[in-house]
Structure 1
Amino acid sequence: MTMIAVLGNGRVGGSLFAALTRAGHQVTVADRSPGAATDAARAGQIVINATPGAGSLERLLALRGELEGKILVDVSNATVDGPDGLPANLLYPGSSLGEQLQAALPGTRVVKTLNTMLYTVMTAPAALAQSPTAFLSGEDAEAKQVVHGLLEDLGWHREWITDLGGIETAQAAEAAVLFVPHVIRSRGFAPFAVSITR
């Protein structure tokens, strides 16, 4: 059993909280109340960033001390939204939220994953008609192995998980969010994910 803190209690954070709890982990979720994020991050061995990506860097910088030496799993995308509320551009063009977090928190092991799909797929990948792909980006091989295990606990088969390499590869994975508004407008708000087939 691992002690996991989920920062963000929206649809993404709530889904991850429920699924990881069912998998047998001790999970806390931090809402927006004062001190909740600090308390959760201090208690968790692994911290999951499920906060809105546009404000994630500022929020997590405030937790630098609590995150020191820990694994930070970043599942958010930092975007500039269009008039319809859907992603229109990347907040960090030429970079990524994952890279920004790792640079700002050098004592924290950042792993980017689960950001190339609708939130429902994160915890129910087998529900899709075709096998989806979950990508891993990060500098620390041990941390990525730990996160790989968490993905398996969420129902991801080993062959569905692809390690892209260092945190710089998060830039490509985060850019996939620009597909989202077009897919939703074309096919409606239904579960989908990026899938690499061979």
Structure 2
Amino acid sequence: MTTIAVLGNGRVGGNLATALTRAGHEVTVADRTPGAASAAARTARIVINATPGAGSPERLAALRDELRGKILVDVSNATVDGPDGLPADLIHPGSSLAEQLQEALPETHVVKTLNTMLFPVMTAPAALTQTPTVFVSGEDPGAKQTVRGLLADLGWREEWITDLGGIRTARATEAAVLFVPHVIRSEGFVPFAISIAR
């Protein structure tokens, strides 16, 4: 059992919290109540960033002390939304949200994952008709190994997990969010994930 704090109580955060609790972890969900994120992060071993990506760097930089030495799992994408509310562009072209977080939190182990799929797939990858891929980016091998364990608890088989390397590789997975609006407009809001076919 691991103590986990989920920052963000929307569809993504709520979905992850429910699944991780079901897997036997002790999970606290922090909403936007003043002090809630600080209190949750302080007592957790792993913190999941499921807050809107546009405000994540500022929001998490304020938790530098609480996050020191801990694993921060970043599942968000930082995008500029179009008139229909779907992602239209990246906020950090030439960089990534994950890199911004790692720069703001040098004593925290940032690991990027679960950001190349619609949120239902994060906790039910086997529900897709084809094999999905989940990507992992981060600088610390131990932190990435711990996150691989969490992914397994969420139903991701070992062969479905691809370690891309350092945190800079998150640029590639975050850019994949630009597929999302086009796929949704074409197929509707049907769960899907980016997958590497071999």
Q: Same fold (TM over 0.5)?
A: yes
Structure 1 Cα separation of the partners of residues 92 and 48 of structure 2: 20
Gaps of 5+ in 2: none
Give the match's secondary structure for 2:76. Answer: coil
Aligned to 2:12: 12
1:121 lines up with 2:121 in the alignment? yes
Aligned to 1:99: 99
1:171 lines up with 2:176 in the alignment? no
Give the match's secondary structure for 2:132. Answer: coil
Tell me which amino acid in the other structure corresponds to 2:130: Q
TM-score between both structures, scaled by the size of structure 1: 1.00
Question: Which 4+ residue blocks in structure 1 deviate beyond 3 angstroms?
Answer: none
Structure 1 Cα separation of the partners of residues 37 and 68 of structure 2: 14
Structure 2 Cα separation of the partners of residues 31 and 43 of structure 1: 15
TM-score between both structures, scaled by the size of structure 2: 1.00
1:120-150 Cα shifts (integer Å, max 9, x gaps): 0000000000010000000000000000000
Structure 2 Cα separation of the partners of residues 76 and 187 of structure 1: 23
Tell me which amino acid in the other structure corresponds to 2:17: F
Aligned to 1:136: 136
Give the match's secondary structure for 2:181. Answer: helix
Instruction: Please give the residue correspondences for 1:183-198 in structure 2 after superposition, counting only pairs within 5 Å.
Output: 183-198=183-198
Structure 2 Cα separation of the partners of residues 50 and 44 of structure 1: 15
Structure 2 Cα separation of the partners of residues 93 and 83 of structure 1: 20
Give the match's secondary structure for 2:164. Answer: strand
Percent of residue pairs bearing the same amino acid type: 79
Structure 1 Cα separation of the partners of residues 101 and 150 of structure 2: 21
1:27 lines up with 2:24 in the alignment? no
Structure 2 Cα separation of the partners of residues 103 and 54 of structure 1: 16
Once the two structures are TM-superposed, the CA of residue 197 in structure 1 deviates from its matched residue by 1.0
1:41-94 Cα shifts (integer Å, max 9, x gaps): 001100000000011011000101000000000000000001111000000000
Once the two structures are TM-superposed, the CA of residue 179 in structure 1 deviates from its matched residue by 0.2
Structure 2 Cα separation of the partners of residues 102 and 26 of structure 1: 25
Give the match's secondary structure for 2:89. Answer: strand
Tell me which amino acid in the other structure corresponds to 1:23: A
